[in-house]
């Protein structure tokens, strides 16, 4: 059981440039952040700089039988945190990540199982983050999350994630 005010132990870092095992990372995430097990995340994959989750709508239904906005918002925020954390881990950096600012635009009801995609807003965002970390020991990156039901874009979110100094 997690204790209030106590950090959860980090996963050991992978070798530089190596990707985390998605199943292992999601298992750790579910232990570190208890609500994760209730979000309906089925699978996590990568496509270049894009992080992709496949999710089950059943775990996130509202009273109308569609996606609950609060759950969808939590998922987009968490996904940006995961994107940033996984990027740091690929670069052998153990740092704390926090969301500094986030916004969402709900475009259509979520009526079926769905996928979330997260990627940097700017193509050079990861390079700028690397430069900031090298120069100042901390940095920020803006990420965009998009929720798709089939070919329909249902939600767009944007988050500014801060990587804190130190370890």
| Digit-coded pLDDT (tens) for 92-151 | 999 999 999 999 999 999 999 999 999 999 999 999 999 999 999 999 999 999 999 999
* 52-105 pLDDT, tens digit each: 999 999 999 999 999 999 999 999 999 999 999 999 999 999 999 999 999 999
Strand locations in the chain (E): 41-47, 50-55, 97-106, 114-120, 139-149, 152-163
pTM of this structure: 0.95
Task: Using only the alpha carbons of the chain, give its radius of gyration.
Answer: 16
Sign for the CA dihedral angle at 122, 84, 98, 81 comes to positive
Q: Within 10 A of 39 (CB to CB), how many other CB atoms are there?
A: 20
Q: Among the CATH numbers 2.40.50.100, 3.10.129.10, 3.40.50.720, 3.40.50.300, which is that of 22-163?
A: 3.10.129.10
Confidence of residue 167 (pLDDT cuts 50, 70, 90): low
Domain ranges across the chain: 22-163
C-alpha 27 chain-centroid distance = 14
**And the tokens for 23?**
């199943």
* 7-59 pLDDT, tens digit each: 999 999 988 878 899 999 999 999 999 999 999 999 999 999 999 999 999 99
Closest by CA to 40, choosing from 65, 63, 71, is: 71
3-state secondary structure 140-161: EEEEEEEEEECCEEEEEEEEEE
* Cα–Cα distance for residue pair 74/118, rounded to 1 Å: 14
* Cα–Cα distance for residue pair 94/163, rounded to 1 Å: 10
Give the DSSP letter of residue 113: -
Q: What is the pLDDT of residue 119?
A: 98
């Amino acid at each position: 059981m997690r204790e209030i005010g106590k950090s959860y132990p980090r996963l050991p870092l992978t070798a530089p440039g190596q990707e985390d095992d998605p199943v292992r990372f999601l298992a750790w995430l579910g232990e570190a952040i208890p609500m994760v097990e209730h979000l309906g995340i089925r699978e996590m994959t990568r496509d270049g700089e894009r992080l992709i989750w496949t999710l089950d709508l059943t775990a996130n239904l509202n009273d109308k039988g569609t996606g609950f906005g609060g759950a969808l918002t939590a998922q987009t925020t968490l996904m940006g945190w995961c994107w940033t954390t996984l990027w740091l881990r690929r670069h052998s950096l153990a740092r704390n990540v926090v969301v500094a600012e986030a916004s969402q635009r709900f475009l259509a009801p979520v009526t079926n199982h769905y996928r979330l995609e997260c990627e940097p807003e700017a193509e050079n965002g990861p390079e700028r983050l690397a430069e900031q970390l090298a120069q100042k020991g901390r940095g920020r990156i803006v990420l965009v999350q998009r929720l798709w039901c089939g070919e329909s874009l249902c939600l767009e979110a944007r988050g500014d994630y801060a990587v804190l100094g130190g370890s």
